[in-house]
Amino acid sequence: MDEGFTVAGQSMPRITIGFGTFLIAWGVIVSIMSKSNSITSFFPSLLGLPILVSGIMAQKTPEKRKFWMHIAVVFGLLCALGGTRFFMVMSDGITYASGSMLMLFVTGSIYTFFCVQSFRFARINSTD
């Protein structure tokens, strides 16, 4: 059965699961490495959790895939928007916090781009 839109041979739900897992791991690892007591150091993890859950649900319930992927892209866009704060603090150099902001901006933008391409692909190839 054709999966539809893919990136590097991976379906969007699989990419979503990978992206969510990456964000959760990033937040935990950076918080531990920086010895941060601030909840904001876990911000990537907090955004990654709903992305991960959405990806899992999109894979497990194909009839609701569209719904779950729309939720995931909202959080992907929040990653990109939250990462724009990097441009306000970049003159301070790359720190754990600014590195996380840059990572959120870059990966969130790429993920959102892939989601939009996937939605366009689905719209063009729909049989409705």
Each residue of 66-111: pLDDT tens digit? 999 999 999 999 999 999 999 999 999 899 999 999 999 999 999 9
- Res 128 pLDDT > 80: no
List Cβ neighbours of 75 (8 Å cut-off, separation of 6 or more).
47, 50, 51, 54
Report the chain's C-alpha Rg in angstroms.
16
Average model confidence (pLDDT) across the chain: 93
- Res 1 pLDDT > 60: no
Full-model pTM: 0.92
How far apart CA 97 and CA 116 sit, in angstroms, is 28
List Cβ neighbours of 100 (8 Å cut-off, separation of 6 or more).
26, 27, 30, 41, 43, 44
Confidence of residue 3 (pLDDT cuts 50, 70, 90): low
